[in-house]
Structure formats: C-alpha cells, structure tokens
Amino acid sequence: MSDINWIYNYSFLGVRLFDLPSLLMCLLLIMVLSYKFAIPVIQRFVLMLHCFLPFVLNDVLFKVNYMPDQLKYWRGVNAIRDGEISLVEAFTGGDNVLQASAFFSVMPFPTPVSPISLGFYNTFIYIVLFFILYAKNVFTKVSLWFYLLFPSMALYTALSLRETLILFFMILSVVYARESKLFKTALCVFPILLLKFQNFYIVGPVVLLYFIFDVAKKGMGPIKALLIGVIGFAALLISAPFALPLVNKFRVAMFVEDGGDPEDIELIAGVGDFVFQGLTSGFYFLSKPLPWEASSALQLIQSFENIVVLAILFLITRQAWKKSIDKLAFWLLFMVFAMSVYGLVVVNYGTAVRYRYGFVVMYVLFVCADCNIISLRSERKTKNYRQPSTKSLQHPSSQTY
C-alpha cells in the first residue's frame, strides 16, 4: 500500500480542506431529501450542523489516538481501494476491521485522505438513516428530537468507527421486522454478524421474537416477558460453570484492548458472583461512568449526559407503561438483555458509552413508535396535544425505501 501518512505534512486547516467534497455531499443530501420530505427548517438546520462535527472532534476535542481504532479503519479502506486487499478477501477474511472497512470502501465518497475522513462516511449513514425513519413514519416528536440531539450519538456517528454501520443495520432489521418483511430483515441482520457478532446474538433473537409475537401490533405482554426472563435466569444459572471462564476472558481482552493493564481487571469470582453481576451489571452498564468515577473532562460530560438520558428513559417508560404495557414489556426485556450481556464483559467507562448508545437509541425509537409516545409529560398535561398528521411525518413517496 502506498504511504498515506503524507497527510500529516499539512496544517490543521490543510488536512480538513481535503474533506470539503465529502462535507458538500452530506449537505447536498440533506437539502435534496429535506425538500422531498418537507422537513421543517429547524430539523434541517440541526442535521446540517451535524455535518461539521468530523472537523471538530479528532485533534480538537481529543487526539485521534484517543480512539486508535479509527486509524485501523482508515488504513483498511485505503488498502482496499488501492487494491492491496480485494473486496471479497476483506469481507470473507474474518477480520472485523477489514469487514467494516469493506462496507465503507463501497460508499460513493472520495478516498479517505485522513483519519477524520471516515467521519463523513458515518455522517452520511446517519443522515440516510434519519430520512428512512422519517419516511417509514417511525419517528414521533420525542424520538425524532432524541435522535437529533443525543450527544453520544452525535459524537460516535461523526467519528471514523464502525459503530454507525452497526447501528444502521440493527435499526433497519427492526424497521423491516415491524413491516413483516422477512427477507429484508435477514439482509440487515447478516451484516451485524460480520461487524460485531455479539450484537448479532442480541439483535437476532430480539427480531425473531418480534416476528413470533407480532409486537408492533399485539405486544408481548408482561406475563410472557416475565416467563422469558425466568427462562433466561435459569439459563444463566445452568451456564455459569461453562460461561464464567469465557466471560472473564472477554473482560480481560476488552480491558487490554482499551489500554488497561490485565493485572488491574477484577475478574468474576465464582458462580454466585457471576449470577449476581448478571442480574445487576445491566443497570450499572447503562449508567456508568457515574460523576465520581469520571477520570477526564470527556467522561465527566458523559456522566452528566447519563443522568439526563436516564431521566428521559424513565419518562418514556412511564408513558409507555400507561399506554401499552404489552408492547413495553418486549422492549424492557430487550434492554435488560442487551445491557446485562455487555455489563458482564465491559469494564472501561468510555467503551461502555460507545457500545450502549446504539441500544439506547433503539429503545427510544421503537418504544416511542410502538407505544405512540408523543410527549415526555403525562397524558393529563398533554391531553390537548394532537399527534402530527401522517402527511407531516411521512411523504407519499416514502414507499420508495
């Protein structure tokens, strides 16, 4: 592969000038689709602001080496486009980095000239996903603004990481499951296996249960959800002797990958500790880092973000409990399952924020959509509020998606 480090010979502004075509492509996409779907000006403005985030994150908010995975994807895409690695080899080689790089490499963007370039690829995906959700009438007033203003989502969808790709396919798999489109759902679930197998084993069963119980129309019901929870707890007990060594292995591997010393990691000791952490780690994973655990300015900001997000999740859940507990039960089960799995193996605070934001977004999107949550306030205070008409949320031509 030709040397791609020549970019470091340019100044701060010089490096960013090379990405102006990518910026303009994202802005043009917003303008065209906003006109097509009659997007309100304020939402259009927020989307456009998002397009500038890749310029002000790496080497501004933090050094690019703070998240070194970005360099791997950047080099992977360049290797594929330079012909050093074939696209087929990248997809089938079993390397998650190269598989994600392969997805990026086929996107209609200029070659990524710097580690920040793939941030515009992800911004493009973020914009496309917004308009798909808008066209599919998934958004409510609450979930739309959460999508636009959730800080962690804004951060990770503007970096050169694979998380936006994973989020894209996870959300679309549920979108098509809601429409009972089995083939399209399978097409969206399969890339998750390539990109992040643990997410596949979380989303796969969730999508299957969504089909089986027809959650979008009927819900699951608290009794069924409780029964599945009891079965899950029994499985946790039975699997403990076999799963514990594997869980500890992943805990150490992920801690070391994030720059930690394996001697500093606290392993799960015994079956009792495994069961206890399996039952309690989910909520801690959802809320960490707590303010007193933050070791940097970024983590402190994320800790306060957690408080706000937990409050929003509580308000949404409370509204859904009143409106449709049968549908809410399914998504609560999904959230507990996802957070518990990651809570067992992820110790690093920054990694926790990075891995959980996608599940938080999914919970908000589909609880609001399935339970028709149009406000965070109680029904008594919003009884005069009318949900926007279908025309205001969905353009007639949206069936092209």
**Range from 84-93, 104-113, 236-245, 328-337 carrying the lowest mean pLDDT:** 236-245
Compare 236 and 151 and report the one with higher pLDDT. Answer: 151
How much is the pLDDT for 258? 59
Q: Is the pLDDT score of 306 beyond 50?
A: yes
Mean pLDDT for the stretch of residues 53-59: 92
Mean pLDDT for the stretch of residues 205-227: 77
Q: Is the pLDDT score of 386 beyond 70?
A: no
Compare 97 and 12 and report the one with higher pLDDT. Answer: 97
Q: If you count DSSP H runs as helices and E runs as strands, how many of each does the chain have, helices first?
A: 19, 0
Mean pLDDT for the stretch of residues 108-118: 91
Judge whether 363 and 334 are in contact, CB under 8 Å. yes
Confidence band of 72 (pLDDT split at 50, 70, 90): very high
Chain centroid to Cα 233, Å, comes to 26
Mean pLDDT for the stretch of residues 171-184: 92
Q: Is the pLDDT score of 5 beyond 80?
A: no
DSSP secondary-structure letter at 388?
A: P
* % of residues, the chain, pLDDT over 70: 88
Rounded to the nearest integer, the mean pLDDT of the chain is 84
Confidence band of 229 (pLDDT split at 50, 70, 90): confident
How much is the pLDDT for 302? 84
Judge whether 326 and 222 are in contact, CB under 8 Å. yes
DSSP string, 229-268: HHHHHHHHHHHHHHHHHHHHHHHHHHHHHTT--GGG----
Confidence band of 211 (pLDDT split at 50, 70, 90): confident
